[in-house]
Amino acid sequence: CHLIHYLRLSHHLIVLNYLICTFDKLKSVSSKDINITDAVFDGVEVRVFEPPAKRDERLKRSIVYIHGGGWALASARTSLYNNLCRIMAESLNAVVVSVEYRLVPEVCFPEQFHDAFRATKHFLQPDVLAEYSVDPSRIAISGDSAGGNLAAAVCQQLSKDGHLTIRPKLQALIYPVLQAFDFNTPSYQQNMNMPVLPRYVMINYWIDYFNGNYDLAHSLLINNHTALDVGQALSFRGRLNWTSLLPSSFKKNYKPVIQTTGKAEIIQEIPALLDVRAVPLLAENETLQLQPKTYILTCENDVLRDDGVMYAKRLENAGVEVTLDHFDDCFHGCMIFTIWPTDFSAGIQTRNSYIKWLDENL
Average pLDDT of 266-295? Answer: 97
Average pLDDT of 215-231? Answer: 97
Q: Is residue 95 domain-resident?
A: yes
Least confident of 4-8, 12-16, 160-164, 186-190: 4-8
Cα 12 from Cα 335, distance rounded (Å): 25
- Domain interval for residue 124: 11-180+272-361
pTM of the model: 0.92
- Looking at residue 195, what is its pLDDT? 86
Mean pLDDT of the chain: 91
Average pLDDT of 155-175? Answer: 96
- For residue 52, is it left (φ>0), alpha (ψ between -120 and 50) or beta? beta
- Looking at residue 89, what is its pLDDT? 97
Kindly provide the b/e burial profile for residues 142-176, where b requires at least 16 CB atoms within 10 angstroms of the residue's own CB: bbbbbbbbbbbbbbbbbbeeeeeebbbbbbbbbbb
Q: Is residue 129 domain-resident?
A: yes
pLDDT tens sequence across 177-222: 999 999 999 999 999 999 889 999 999 999 999 999 999 999 999 9
pLDDT tens sequence across 306-319: 999 999 999 999 99
For helices 111-123 and 146-159, angle between their N-to-C axes, nearest 10 degrees: 60
Among 150, 230, 242, 234, residue whose Cα is nearest residue 190 = 242
Distance of CA 44 to the CA centre of its chain: 18
Q: Bigger pLDDT: 14 or 167?
A: 167
- Looking at residue 96, what is its pLDDT? 98
Residue 97 pLDDT level (bands cut at 50, 70, 90): very high
The CATH code of the domain that includes 280 is: 3.40.50.1820
∠ Cα 104 105 109 (to 5°): 50
Q: Is residue 6 domain-resident?
A: no
Cis amide linkage into residue 271, ω under 30° from 0: no
Average pLDDT of 142-171? Answer: 97
**E strands within the chain?**
35-41, 44-50, 60-66, 94-100, 134-144, 170-174, 293-301, 322-331, 338-339, 342-343
pLDDT tens sequence across 13-63: 554 445 545 555 444 444 668 999 999 999 999 999 999 988 777 899 999
Beta bridge partners of 241: none
Could you tell me whether strands 134-144 and 170-174 are parallel, antiparallel, or unpaired per DSSP bridges?
parallel
In the chain, what are the helix, strand and coil shares in percent, each to the nearest 5? 45, 20, 40
Cα 271 from Cα 280, distance rounded (Å): 14
| Total structural domains within the chain | 1
Q: Is residue 198 domain-resident?
A: no
Cα 288 from Cα 318, distance rounded (Å): 6
Q: Bigger pLDDT: 30 or 282?
A: 282
Q: Is residue 326 domain-resident?
A: yes
Answer whether residue 276 shows pLDDT above 60.
yes
Residue 263 pLDDT level (bands cut at 50, 70, 90): very high
- Looking at residue 341, what is its pLDDT? 66
Q: Is residue 195 domain-resident?
A: no
Q: Is residue 238 domain-resident?
A: no
Q: Is residue 267 domain-resident?
A: no
Least confident of 50-64, 106-120, 291-305: 50-64
Q: Which residues are catalytic?
A: 145, 302, 332
Cα 153 from Cα 155, distance rounded (Å): 5
